Structure 1
Amino acid sequence: MLMLESLIEKIIFASRWLLAPLYLGLMGALLPILYRFFHSFWHMISHITDMSSGEITLEVLELLDTVLLANLIIIVLFAGYENFVSKIKIAEGAEDRPHWMGHVDYSGLKIKLIGSLVAISVIELLKDFMHEGTFDAKREGWRIGIHMTFVVSGVLFALMDMMADRHKSQR
C-alpha cells in the first residue's frame, strides 16, 4: 500500500508540468500584443500633426492599456510558473532579475492581478469618457459597476491577506 501511495504522490507531483505548455502559450500571447502596440504607436506617430491633444491622449491611453496587459501576462507567467511548476534557476544570479521574482506567492499574485485589472479598467473608462459623442449611459453604468467590482475585490483581497498575516504572526 505504501508503494501505491508513493506512486500516486509522484504522479500528482509531476502533474504540475502539465501547466508548462499553458505558460508557453501565454508567452505566445505577447506577440499579438506587441504587434498591437507598435501598430498603435505607428498610427499615432504618422498622424501626429493631424491630431488634437485629446486624440493624442486617447492614443497614449491605448498604448498604456496595451503595456499593462503585457505586464499582466508577464506577472502571471513568472509568478505562476515559479509558484506552480518550477523555480526559474537561470534567473537566480541575473543582474536584471525583477526584485519581486521568487517572492510573489499566490496571495501576492492575486493582489498584483487585481491591481492590473483595476488599472486597465480605469484606462478603458477614461477612453470612453474622452470619446466625444459616443457616451452611452447604460453601457458606461455597467462598465463603472464592473470597475468598482474590481476595486472592491482588490480591497477585500488585501484585507483578507492582512488578516491572514496577522493570524500567522499571532501563532
Structure 2
Amino acid sequence: MNSSAQPPRSAFKQVESGFEHFIFASRWLMAPIYLGLVVAMGVLLVKFGKEITHLIAHFSSMDEGQVIVGVLTLVDISLLMNLLIIIMFSGYENFVSKMDDLHSHADRPDWMGSIGFSDLKIKLIGSMVAISGIELLKAFMNVDTLSDRHLAWLVGIHVTFLFSGLIFAIMEKLGGEHH
C-alpha cells in the first residue's frame, strides 16, 4: 500500500538530475557580465585616449607635478584594464566554460586557465592596493588643493585595502598548508 503512494525512486532521480543540469547551465548567465567588462574596457580605452591627448596637447604648459599626475592617470587606467582581463579570462574559465580552442594559441597568457578563485582574490586585492596607491600618490602631488579630511579618507581607504590584502594572503597561506 505504501509503495503505490510513493513515486518510483527513478522519477525522483530524474527530477534531481534535471534540476542539477538546470543549475549547471545557469553558469551561462555570467557570459553577458564578461561581455559587459569587454565594453567597459572599450570605455577605458576612450578615457585613456582622451588623457594621453590632453597630456600631449598641454605638455609644454604643464609643470612637473601635472605631468606626473597625467602619467599616473595613464598607469591607473592600464592597471584597471589588466585587472579586467584577469577577471574576464579567469572568471570565464573557472565559472563558465574552458576556452579549449585557445589552449594552443601562441598569444595565450601562461597564467590563463591556472588562476583559481583564491588566486583571483589575491590578484584583485593586489590590483586594488596598486590602484589605490596611485590615486594616493596623485593626491599627494596636489596636496595643496585637497582638504585634510579628503587626504585622510584616501589614506584610510588605502590602508584598509593594504591590510585586507595582507589578511587575504595570510588566509590563503594558512589554508594552503591544510590541503
TM range, smaller chain: over 0.9
- Asked whether 1:39 is paired with 2:70, we answer no
Q: CA RMSD in A?
A: 0.9
Of 31, 50, 63, 1:52 maps to: 63
CA distance in 2, matches of 1:100, 1:157: 20
Asked if residue 61 in structure 1 is aligned to residue 87 in structure 2, the reply is no
For 1:73, the equivalent position in structure 2 comes to: 84
Query: Which string of whole-angstrom CA distances, capped at 9 and with x for unpartnered residues, describes residues 113-158 of structure 1?
Result: 0011001001001111101521211111111111111111111111
Q: How does 1:145-156 map to 2 (within 5 A)?
A: 145-156=156-167
* Structure 2 counterpart of 1:114: 125
SS of residue in 2 equivalent to 1:49: helix
Q: 2:136 is matched with which residue?
A: 125
CA distance in 2, matches of 1:90, 1:109: 23
Question: What is the match of residue 10 of structure 1?
Answer: 21
Distance in 1 (CA, whole Å) between partners of 2:171 and 2:23 is: 29
Tell me the distance in 1 between the aligned counterparts of 2:102 and 2:70.
35
Greater than 4 Å deviation, 4+ residue runs:
none
- What is the distance in 1 between the residues matched to 2:95 and 2:153? 35
> What secondary structure does 1:101 align onto?
coil
Aligned length: 168
Q: TM-score with structure 2 length normalisation?
A: 0.91
Once residues 6 and 132 of structure 1 are traced to their aligned partners in structure 2, the CA distance between those partners, rounded to angstroms, is 61
Which of 72, 88, 93 aligns to 2:99? It is 88
Q: Are 2:161 and 1:137 aligned?
A: no
| 1:103 aligned partner | 114
What are the superposed Cα offsets for residues 86-114 of structure 1, whole Å, 9 maximum, x if unpaired? 11123200111111100000000000000
Identity, % of aligned pairs? Answer: 49
Supply the AA of the counterpart residue of 1:65: D
SS at match of 1:41: helix
Q: TM-score, normalised by structure 1?
A: 0.95
Distance 2:143 2:23 in 1: 55
Q: Which whole-Å CA distance do the structure 1 matches of 2:126 and 2:173 have between them?
A: 16
Q: CA deviation at 1:48?
A: 1.4
Gaps of 5+ in 2: 1-11
